[in-house]
């Protein structure tokens, strides 16, 4: 698993470099979900460059679309886009904009950015797979602050009603959103108990333990008759000393000095 930790660490380096280069973006929530994406793309999902256009493969919806730097970083690690292209993040005419666009970037399965909508899209994808007898799965990554949106709970109710056991939601539970701590902005806890009350199977894991995330995803594949949510406990800004657990780094670009510190925290440039 050491190699995948290196993959996730390289993603984090690219995340801070992308946001620094663009002078805008969302580093905090991108850093918090890097290990989750690493587990999904390297250990769990049936997706590679050869089946990218195949209807019969797993799909991922990055519902927290502002965390696009993390998605682009893992797509580069998988070879869907080049690492050099990452530095065009948010630039005019770039394929990789501030929110993912399925029409422009290879490997992006759904255009997202308006919070709360991604889980509904995932429900639709999963229901379509059921109707088509397609055995592949849909994965949705949501933020914990995103669960303030009522549409999340409408989608949760529908997923349970239609017994979508081919749907897995991973909740990036870093405890912070743009305006501060979740409990101060809009206390939506206890999220696990709420999803359970909506008829979901619930797992809890350390969202920075790639093995644990992988094992929970594999366990979810054995659950029949209901969707699963993994509550992944994470640290906003994970890996960068001055960003960790700081709501102010939700949507702020590091300057030159801060970038140097961040890269040093992440082991430096090779």
- Could you tell me if residue 54 is left (phi over 0), alpha (psi between -120 and 50 degrees) or otherwise beta? beta
What is residue 270's predicted lDDT score, i.e. its pLDDT?
A: 57
pLDDT higher than threshold 70 for residue 1: no
Q: Cα separations (Å) of 46 from 4, 141, 223?
A: 17, 16, 18
Average pLDDT over every residue of 204-233? 98
Q: Which of 82, 32, 95, 89 is nearest to 253 (CA)?
A: 89
Give which of 157, 177, 168 is closest to 66, Cα–Cα.
177
When comparing pLDDT for 98 and 50, which is higher? Answer: 98
Q: Give the C-alpha distances (Å, rounded to integers) separating 118 from 110, 139, 160, 263.
A: 8, 10, 16, 31
User: Average pLDDT in the 127-156 region?
Assistant: 97
Domain locations along the chain:
2-265
CATH topology of domain 2-265: Rossmann fold (3.40.50)
Q: How confident is the model at residue 123 (pLDDT cuts 50, 70, 90)?
A: very high
pLDDT for 2 beyond 60: no
pLDDT value at residue 56: 87
- Look at residue 54 in the predicted model and tell me its pLDDT: 87
Contacts of 227 (CB under 8 A, 6+ apart): 126, 156, 159, 160, 164, 165, 167, 168, 169, 199, 200, 201
pLDDT in tens, 22-73: 999 999 999 999 999 999 999 999 999 889 888 889 999 999 999 999 999 9
252-268 pLDDT, tens digit per residue, is 999 999 999 999 999 98
Contact status, residue 176 vs residue 27, Cβ threshold 8 Å: no
| pLDDT surpasses 70 at 116 | yes
pTM for this predicted structure:
0.97
Determine which helix (DSSP H) or strand (DSSP E) holds 20, and give its type and residue range. Answer: helix 2-22
Residue-wise burial string across 242-262, b where 16 or more C-beta atoms lie within 10 A, e elsewhere: ebbeebebbbbbbeeebbeeb
Cα 70 to its chain centre, rounded Å, is 7
């Amino acid at each position: 698993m050491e190699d995948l930790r290196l993959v996730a660490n390289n993603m984090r380096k690219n995340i801070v470099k992308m946001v620094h280069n663009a002078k805008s973006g969302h580093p905090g929530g991108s850093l918090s979900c890097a290990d989750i994406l690493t587990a999904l793309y390297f250990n769990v999902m049936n997706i590679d460059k050869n089946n990218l256009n195949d209807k019969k493969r797993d799909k991922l919806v990055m519902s927290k679309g502002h965390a696009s730097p993390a998605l682009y970083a893992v797509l580069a690690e998988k070879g869907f886009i080049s690492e050099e292209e990452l530095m065009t993040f948010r630039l005019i005419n770039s394929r990789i904009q501030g929110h993912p666009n399925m029409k422009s970037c290879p490997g992006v399965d759904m255009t997202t950015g308006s919070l709360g909508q991604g889980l509904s899209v995932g429900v639709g994808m999963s229901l379509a797979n059921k109707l088509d007898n397609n055995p592949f799965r849909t994965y949705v990554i949501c933020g914990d602050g995103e669960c303030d949106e009522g549409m999340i709970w409408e989608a949760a109710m529908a997923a349970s009603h239609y017994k979508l056991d081919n749907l897995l939601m991973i909740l990036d539970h870093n405890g912070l959103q743009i305006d501060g701590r979740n409990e101060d902005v809009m206390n939506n806890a206890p999220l696990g108990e709420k999803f359970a009350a909506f008829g979901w199977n619930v797992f809890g894991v350390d969202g920075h333990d790639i093995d644990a995330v992988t094992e929970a995803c594999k366990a979810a594949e054995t659950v029949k008759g209901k969707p699963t949510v993994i509550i992944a406990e994470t640290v906003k800004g994970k890996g960068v000393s001055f960003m960790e657990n700081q709501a102010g780094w939700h949507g702020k670009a590091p300057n030159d000095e801060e970038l140097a510190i961040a890269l040093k925290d992440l082991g430096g440039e090779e």
